[in-house]
Amino acid sequence: MTQSRNGPKLAIHSQKENSENQYFTDLLTLLLTAVSQQFFHMLILRSLGHEALAMRIKEVDDADFVSAMQIMDWLVVNDPRLIVLPHNVFPGACIASILAAEENTENTINLALKKSDTVQSASGRALLDRVRAPRQAYQKWLSAQPCIATEPEHDLGTKKAVRALVRKLLILMDQTMLDAFCYWHENDPAAANTSWRISGATMMYLTELAPMSGSISHANGVPVGITKASHRTDRVTLETQLIEQCTRTAKSAAFCCPEQNMTKIMSEIANDCERLVDLRRNPAADIKLGHSEVFRDFRKARHRVGLAEF
C-alpha cells in the first residue's frame, strides 16, 4: 500500500506474487477507506443542507459497507494472518473537496478491480461482482456534478483535537468490527455482540463529530490500520487499549477545544468511552451517546448483509 496526497493507492502485485487472500486484504483496505469517507461526506453534506447529494453518497456507502463486511468475513475464515495495512482517510470539507475525494477513491477501487486476475474461486468472484455493482453509475454521477463550494472555517486547535480523536475512533471502529467476526467464527456470539456494540458505539461518536469534520482534512490524511489477533486475550487487551486511548484523546480534546459545543461533545464521548471498557464484563453497562439498537445483535447484522449463521 502506498499513499498520496489525494488518497490511498493500492499496491496490487503481479499474479505470480499475489494470492486471493492478499488481493482481498488490499481490496478490504480500500473499501474501509471508502466507507469511512462516504460516511463523513454524507453527514457533512447533510449539515450543509445538501440532502440530495448526501443521499446519493449514502446509497454507495450502504453497498460498500455490505461488501466490506462480506470480504472481512471471508478473510477471517480464509486468512489466519490477516492484517489490514495502514491506510489514510481523506475526507473533504466542502462540496468540491468531497466530490474530488470520492472520485479519487472510485478511481483507485476501479483500478484494483481491473487487476483481479488472482481471484479464481467462485466465492471470490461473487464478492468482486458485489463490489463492482455500484461503481459505473456512481462514477457517472460524480462526473456530472458541479464543483461549487466554500470551505468551512475551523479554529486550528479544534482541527488538531478533532483529527486526533477521529483517527483513534476509526481504528477502534474497524478493529472491533473485525473482532466481532473473529469471535463469531469461534462460535462465541456473546463476545461477537460485545465487539459489535463497541464498533457501533464508535460509529455513533463519529456521527457526532462528522458535521465538524472539515476539521480533519489534512495533507497527510487520517491514518488507520487494524490487525487480526489470533488469541482472545490479545483481542481483549487491544480493544481495551484502544478504548482507553480514545478516552484520553477525547478528554484532551475537550480541554483544548475553544468551541463550547465541541467541548461538550468531546466530554460526552470521553464519559461514554469509560463505560465501554466495562462492556465485556457487564453487557448491561449504560452506554448513552453510543447506544444503538442496530448494533446490539451481530447475528442480525450478519443476516442483513447476507451472511450465513456459522
Domain boundaries, the chain: 1-152, 154-310
What predicted TM-score, i.e. pTM, was given to this entire model?
A: 0.84
Q: Domain 154-310 in CATH: superfamily?
A: Ferritin, core subunit, four-helix bundle (1.20.1260.10)
pLDDT at position 288, please?
79
pLDDT of residue 165: 86
pLDDT digits (tens, 9 = 90+) for 236-274: 888 999 999 999 999 988 887 777 788 888 899 999 998
Per-residue model confidence as pLDDT tens digits over 193-236: 999 999 999 999 988 887 665 555 444 445 556 677 767 888 88
CA trace torsion 205, 292, 54, 257 (10° rounding): -20
86: pLDDT confidence band, cut at 50, 70 and 90? Answer: low
**Amino acid 96: pLDDT:** 85
pLDDT interval class at 2 (50, 70, 90): very low
User: Quick check: do 1-152 and 154-310 share a fold?
Assistant: yes
| Percent of residues, the chain, with pLDDT higher than 70 | 83
pLDDT band of 134, cuts 50, 70, 90: very high
- Output the nine-digit C-alpha cell for 60: 454507495
Which residues have C-beta within 8 Å of that of residue 241, sequence separation ≥ 6? none
pLDDT of residue 110: 96
- What percentage of the chain exceeds 90 in pLDDT? 44
Mean pLDDT of the chain: 82
Do the strands 2-4 and 7-9 form a parallel or antiparallel pair, or are they unpaired? antiparallel
Note the pLDDT tens digit of each residue in 3-42: 343 444 444 443 433 489 989 999 999 999 899 899 989 9
pLDDT band at 147 (very low <50, low <70, confident <90, very high): low
Domain 1-152, classified CATH 1.20.1440.80, yes or no: no
Helix or strand or coil: residue 233?
Answer: helix
Please report the pLDDT score of residue 3 as a whole number.
Answer: 39
Higher pLDDT, 165 or 147: 165
pLDDT at 135: 97
Q: Is the pLDDT of residue 149 over 60?
A: no
pLDDT value, residue 40? 87
Instruction: Give the 3-state secondary structure of residue 17.
Output: coil
For every residue of the chain, DSSP letters joined together read -EEETTEEE--PPPTTT--HHHHHHHHHHHHHHHHHHHHHHHHHHHHTT-HHHHHHHHHHHHHHHHHHHHHHHHHHHH-TT-EEEEEEE---SSHHHHHHHHHHHHHHHHHHHHT-TT--SHHHHHHHHHHHTTHHHHHHHHHT------PPP--HHHHHHHHHHHHHHHHHHHHHHHHHHHHHHTT-HHHHHHHHHHHHHHHHHHHHHGGGGGGG--TT-EEEEEE--SSHHHHHHHHHHHHHHHHHHHHHHHHH---HHHHHHHHHHHHHHHHHTTTTT-TT----TT--GGGS-HHHHHHHTT----
